[in-house]
Every structure is written in C-alpha cells, then in structure tokens.
Homo-oligomer: A and B are copies of this chain.
Amino acid sequence: MKNLEILRKHLKLKVDISDSDFEKFINLTETVQLKKHELLVREGRVAKWQAFLLSGVMGAYAVDNKGQKHIFQIAIEGHWISDLYSYLSKEPALYNVEAFADTEVLIISKDNFEIACKNISVFERFFRLLFQNGLIQQQRRVSNIYSESAEERYLKLVSEKPDIVQSVPQHYLASFLGIKPQSLSRIRKQIADNYK
C-alpha cells in the first residue's frame, strides 16, 4: 500500500482531504498491474475504467483509416488517463489506452466515480479542479499546434516535460507531436547541428 501515498500527495496538491475521506475513496478503487502493451481501454468497447498511474507509462491514441496511430496523451506517475468520453457516456471508445511499459494503476469504475463525486464533496471539487486544469492544458496544446513549428513544439516538450521525454521511445514522442519518426529524427539532427 506504500504507493498510495503518491495519490494522497496528488490529491493534497489540489484539495484538503481528511484521512477518512481518503480511505473512503480508496475503497471505491482497485489497483492493477498492467504488462507492457496491455490495453486498459480498447477502441469499440466501452471504457470501464479511469486510471491513476502509480508507476510506469501509458498512452491514449487513435488509429486512423490508414492504420496509423496518433498518440494524443502520454501519462506517467501521478497522471490520470482513460477515454473520458466513453467512460462518462458509456458509448464505445474511439481510442485505445495502452501501457507503454509495465505499469501499476489505481482504477475506478464509472459508478464508483459518480459515488465519490456525490458522496464525498471534496472529490466533486477535486475532479472539477482536475478537469479544469486538463482543459486549460489542452487549449494551450491546440493553440501551440497552430502557432508553432514541429521543431518549436519538440523543444518545448523537452523543456516542459522532460520526464515524459525520458520515459518513452522517440517514435512515440513523434506521434505525440503529430509528426512521423523520420521527421523527428531530422529535427533532432538539425538541432544538434546548430550547436556545432
């Protein structure tokens, strides 16, 4: 149960939470070990879980009509991930959510999520703040995609999320940036050459 301290710390960053509320929440969740390449959510099925990462790396991606993967979220320790739309609406998922390495997650079902929000008011507040921050980040992301070149976006990613850059292979980063692995390779070469 040591790892649950990561969650407690994460919660306390946003809200003041009592030990008993924390206990109550934990009782609505389960912890699961995922092996590398295991799927938490499969496209076409309903997303049953939302996950909080205790360790490891996960990603959410769409597969387009040419079979190309497009990663739009990468989560590491302390992040939440799911196909939120499917999870909340119980419609089939549009995305896959996959462990990119062996990963330990705490998961909560939709029903228990609703219970937590309704019965433990601090969680209604917590998730309001969590989604609020997530929305701000995604808005910035869209704005950055429009305003900046691939090279600028890569440099920003390296400086703002070094932990993510460290945790995943380069072709995942390329997908996350919306470019091909070959292009990222060339961009990195370009950057390296500029320092010579």
Known: A117-B125, A121-B121. 14 other contacts (CB 8 A): A62-B146, A62-B147, A70-B146, A70-B147, A72-B143, A72-B146, A85-B136, A95-B143, A124-B125, A125-B128, A127-B128, A134-B135, A138-B139, A141-B142
CB-CB under 8 A from A136, the residues of chain B are: 84-85, 88
- A126-167 contacts to B (CB < 8 Å): 127-128, 131-132, 134-136, 138-143, 145-148
Q: A81-95 interface mask toward B, CB cutoff 8 Å, 1 = contact, 0 = none?
A: 000110010000011
Residues of chain A having any CB pair with chain B under 8 Å: 62, 64, 68, 70, 72-73, 84-85, 88, 94-95, 117, 121, 124-125, 127-128, 131-132, 134-136, 138-143, 145-148, 175, 178
Give the secondary structure class of A's interface: helix
In the complex, A140 Cα to B73 Cα: how many Å?
A: 11
Task: Looking at the assembled complex, report how far the CB atom of A118 sits from the nearest CB atom of chain B, in whole angstroms.
Answer: 8
Task: Looking at the assembled complex, report how far the CB atom of A47 sits from the nearest CB atom of chain B, in whole angstroms.
Answer: 12
Residue among A88, A125, A132, A139 with the highest chain B CB neighbour number at 10 A: A139
**Pairwise interchain contact B135-A131, C-beta atoms closer than 8 A:** yes
* Residue contacts A-B, CB under 8 angstroms, 29 given: A64-B147, A64-B148, A70-B146, A70-B147, A73-B139, A85-B136, A85-B139, A85-B140, A88-B132, A88-B136, A94-B143, A117-B125, A124-B124, A124-B125, A124-B128, A127-B132, A128-B128, A128-B131, A131-B131, A131-B134, A134-B135, A135-B135, A138-B139, A138-B141, A138-B142, A142-B142, A142-B145, A145-B178, A146-B178
Task: Looking at the assembled complex, report how far the CB atom of A65 sits from the nearest CB atom of chain B, in whole angstroms.
Answer: 8
Task: Looking at the assembled complex, report how far the CB atom of A138 sits from the nearest CB atom of chain B, in whole angstroms.
Answer: 3
